[in-house]
Structure 1
Amino acid sequence: MAKELKDLTKRSENYSQWYNDLVIKADLAEQSAVRGCMVIKPYGYAIWEKMQRQLDDMFKETGHVNAYFPLLIPKSFLSREAEHVEGFAKECAVVTHHRLKNDPDGKGVVVDPEAKLEEELIIRPTSETIIWNTYKNWINSYRDLPLLINQWANVMRWEMRTRLFLRTAEFLWQEGHTAHATKEEAEEEAIRMLHVYGEFAEKYMAVPVIKGVKTANERFAGALETYTIEAMMQDGKALQSGTSHFLGQNFAKAFDVQFVNKENKLEYVWATSWGVSTRLMGALIMTHSDDNGLVLPPSLAPIQVVIVPIYKNAEQLQQIDEKVQGIVNALKDLGISVKYDNADNKRPGFKFADYELKGVPVRLVMGGRDLENNTMEVMRRDTLEKETISCDGIEIYVKNLLKEIQANIFQKALDYRASRTFTADTYEEFKQRIEEGGFVLAHWDGTPETEERIKEETKATIRCIPLEGDKTPGVDMLTGKPSAQRVVFARSY
């Protein structure tokens, strides 16, 4: 077994350390010289690119177009929407000067005190303010609406305690910002994008999610309503995996974005914003992976199939090369990404362990006997099961196997979530279930005071008020007051 795997902490021993080990050893990312910021390595970035490409296609199918807005935001812009600035003030990185100069003492460079900015600039924690200031110039009439724009960008939110992918000071994301003529259109847009995120998570990431509405306490700063998809990780904790916000007219009023409606009257625009980030990488890792390394859904795996030859001499390798080339071509013709690793600087055993660690869904092996018998050994990463298959039609077999793996890892995650989802009617039962880990469906009286008390006493938060499922009213487990429906509680990342 390769050294990388020997050093991988087991999930049962220390889940948090297992996650950190896996991100590093699978070559996904590493800490950078800048505190709290990460370097996303090529293999990790290749997964993010596949996510990005698929999401981008889905956004464009729903009528959205991409644009790009500045990284730096004038400080005064953040002052215009009070709730928004309060929500992000403690996380903002501030640019105060525009120039360096040589240190007179010869010790490198120093900030030039003469180059102080008249107004400080904020490195974007999110882009509502700069975008709505721009929309003021773009929107005049109802004919200019709806405006459906997405931005792929990086943002900075100063974090004291960071974790690769899950919580870093700088991260990559997309942020959609749309403008509408009516409240109904904007609300419809916010919910539409929530369903896009839900479809992406389940169909491509193979991560089951609960779709719901955030409580007022958990809402995005400046939003009237925040919709969320919540996923369960293998340690029973929740991970907020995407949010979509109905912003009402708050930002339109803050930046005076009005339009002439069909009745020839001035009206403020209705807005949404929505986003997912590189945090999805964390969700992908923690939902599916095991003690042998990553388990990637075929839909997002940079390499879907790896082929490794086992040979005695150069002549046999040449024969295997010739045989495998036809299989590689046939797989590529079916749109399958395949790597043939015939490099002679690593032993087959090392390659097996390495590709297992990196979560490649299917491994094909051809040795001397396989060459004679026109067969290959097939191993699927999700179950580690092996079988020997004839090379005749193997590309169709592999194509179907990839679909089966995609479905299987989704079902496995769904079954796991079901096994760790509980209902609780008493506070004692609730506290016990939260301690065990998982989602707890319990009644809540709708007050922020009760929500806050439960959070303080159990470290559990209301992840969402589910959009679907049981809507039966009841009574709050803590206060005994009426409750409209059960909500989802969990400890979270």
Structure 2
Amino acid sequence: MGKNLTKRSEDYSKWYNELVIKADLAENSAVRGCMVIKPYGYAIWEKMQAALDKKFKETGHENAYFPIFIPKSFLSKEASHVEGFAKECAVVTHYRLKNAEDGSGIIVDENAKLEEELIVRPTSETIIWDTFKKWIQSYRDLPLLINQWANVVRWEMRTRLFLRTAEFLWQEGHTAHATEKEAIEEAELILKVYADFVENHMAVPVIQGTKTESERFAGAVETYCIEALMQDGKSLQAGTSHFLGQNFAKAFDVKFANKEGKQELVWATSWGVSTRLMGALVMTHSDDNGLVLPPKLAPIQVVIVPIYKGIEQLDAIAERVDPLVKELRSKGISVKFDKRDTHKPGFKFNEYELKGVPVRIAIGQRDLENNTYELARRDTLEKETVSADQVTTRIEELLISIQENIYSRALDYREAHITEVDSYDEFKKVLEEKGGFISAHWDGSADTEERVKDETKATIRCIPINVEVEEGSCMVTGKPSPQRVLFAKAY
């Protein structure tokens, strides 16, 4: 199975697109701008879903489902929200088709126009807050902690598999609270949940922060984010959590009776991560040989490839391997014994290397005689021979080691690509020659932020939180700056 991947150093974007397709993660669909997530890619997404869903439920959230269609009038109720999404909305105007009278095919029935157009969900705040109005009457109904796993549509003209498609999968959380303090604590809690998942399951280090006013979610008072750095020095927003204040409560008149019986508006949050995390996973760890997957998210954690001549040798290998497969599965390790006689071992080695399987075991006639296995780890491509009585313990050690190693490798790369600058000229030089995150002072004005974006294509990725604050002077204007912010070019 020839990989023939473009090298990252030659064309990072082309390498990424080829890898997503060749590793059987996804492919372009017949619908422009949309993708088909293939079984192997969806298996990774399912593991992401399971881990996140567990975390949400552990923090008191419940899953629900809301309509994909949103009445157009709902969007217009929150002014900044509709302004933020208006250019990305897909609109349903008719509800029926008919055969053309001239026999040319199917056409829209002009007599089947909807009384009110429906927006295909770009996000669900409006439809959910219309529902929350019915669910919330008293302080006893709060907090209301709802999550939904769904698809959304944001009409994109320039698309890339997983990173930016017209339709994508995600989860979106929507919560209602009695006080401002509780809502802010919820938004901050979810930020920590996201950071924990991305770092400990995806093995991707992230920086936690808040967005500038111009980069906030449409309708939010504050947007919290986690930002990750890809191997090409570009930033990728890996998740956002929004404190919505009372904006949506006002728009949809969602009030509750407090303990004194007085009516108050509720406080809100919303938050989400999407299948763009799949893109982050690929771009953070993978190499010129293919995917490198963290063991916690790999659909196949261990693959066993037999090397044999004739059915008798294969039967003998299978007899040795079957108890090992059962033992590994009993420990919660996903394992595949690839007995296909239609492909040679070399083909299989290439295939599983391309697909990023963390541990590969090879067993042949010599291993049968010596009671050994050959183990190869995907992250470093190192091989070792292990005795049969030690193999399970060694596999468990390797899976832990690989998870830790790829995180450390990504962290080392990120730390080496955070550069402090104090002048605009130095900023432009570092951005052009090195890339990565650039830590610089900013005067807090939207005009300065827009100037940097127009002149360099770099944006403020976040205002870091949980860091030592250092006052200084804006690198562009020289005006006072309360702390450094992180700039980068981004996906």
What TM-score comes out, normalization by structure 2 length? 0.99
Distance in 1, Cα, partners of 2:171 & 2:116: 27
2:289 to 277, 292, 308: 292
Match of 1:215 in 2: 212
Match of 2:230 in 1: 233
1:484 to 475, 482, 485: 482
Contact kept, 8 Å, 1:470 with 1:486, in 2: the verdict is no
SS at match of 2:111: helix
Match of 1:269 in 2: 266
The amino acid across from 1:457 in the alignment is: E
Match of 1:443 in 2: 441
* TM superposition shift of 1:368: 0.3
Residue identity over aligned pairs, in percent, reads 72
Match of 1:458 in 2: 456
Match of 2:401 in 1: 404
SS at match of 1:94: strand
Distance in 2, Cα, partners of 1:72 & 1:122: 6
Distance in 2, Cα, partners of 1:406 & 1:258: 47
SS at match of 1:297: coil
Match of 1:39 in 2: 36
Match of 1:69 in 2: 66
CA deviation profile, 1:146-200 (whole Å, cap 9, x unmatched):
0000000000000000000000000000000000000000000000000000000
SS at match of 2:394: helix
Match of 1:302 in 2: 299
SS at match of 1:121: strand
The amino acid across from 1:117 in the alignment is: L
1:283 to 280, 285, 292: 280
Match of 1:359 in 2: 356
Is 2:165 aligned against 1:165?
A: no
Match of 1:315 in 2: 312
Distance in 1, Cα, partners of 2:208 & 2:300: 31
The amino acid across from 1:362 in the alignment is: V
Is 2:152 aligned against 1:155?
A: yes
Match of 1:329 in 2: 326
Is 2:427 aligned against 1:421?
A: no
Match of 1:53 in 2: 50
Distance in 2, Cα, partners of 1:60 & 1:397: 33
Contact kept, 8 Å, 1:177 with 1:274, in 2: the verdict is yes
2:467 to 466, 469, 477: 469
Distance in 1, Cα, partners of 2:467 & 2:338: 48
CA deviation profile, 1:13-35 (whole Å, cap 9, x unmatched):
00000000000000000000111
CA deviation profile, 1:110-153 (whole Å, cap 9, x unmatched):
11111000000000000000000000000000000000000000
Distance in 1, Cα, partners of 2:47 & 2:279: 15
* TM superposition shift of 1:404: 0.5
The amino acid across from 2:137 in the alignment is: N
The amino acid across from 2:469 in the alignment is: K
**Displaced runs of 4+ in structure 1, greater than 2 A?**
none
SS at match of 1:335: coil
1:18-167 to 2 correspondence within 5 Å? 18-167=15-164
SS at match of 2:368: helix
* TM superposition shift of 1:470: 2.8
Distance in 2, Cα, partners of 1:456 & 1:97: 40
Distance in 1, Cα, partners of 2:314 & 2:137: 69
Stretch deviating more after TM superposition (326-335 or 202-211): 326-335
**CA RMSD in angstroms, aligned pairs only:** 0.6
Structure 1 unmatched runs, 5+:
none
Distance in 2, Cα, partners of 1:382 & 1:329: 25
SS at match of 1:392: helix
Distance in 1, Cα, partners of 2:14 & 2:396: 35
Match of 2:195 in 1: 198
* TM superposition shift of 1:245: 0.1
Match of 1:224 in 2: 221
* TM superposition shift of 1:396: 1.4
SS at match of 1:113: coil
Distance in 2, Cα, partners of 1:107 & 1:301: 49
Contact kept, 8 Å, 1:145 with 1:179, in 2: the verdict is yes
SS at match of 1:299: coil
Structure 2 unmatched runs, 5+:
none
* TM superposition shift of 1:437: 0.9
Is 2:378 aligned against 1:370?
A: no
The amino acid across from 2:214 in the alignment is: N
The amino acid across from 1:172 in the alignment is: L
* TM superposition shift of 1:107: 2.2
SS at match of 1:409: helix
What TM-score comes out, normalization by structure 1 length? 0.99
1:333-348 to 2 correspondence within 5 Å? 333-348=330-345
Distance in 2, Cα, partners of 1:248 & 1:142: 17
Stretch deviating more after TM superposition (98-107 or 345-354): 98-107
SS at match of 1:393: helix
* TM superposition shift of 1:333: 1.0
Match of 2:383 in 1: 386
Contact kept, 8 Å, 1:125 with 1:156, in 2: the verdict is yes
Distance in 2, Cα, partners of 1:350 & 1:284: 25
Match of 1:186 in 2: 183
The amino acid across from 2:461 in the alignment is: R
The amino acid across from 2:129 in the alignment is: W
Distance in 1, Cα, partners of 2:105 & 2:196: 52
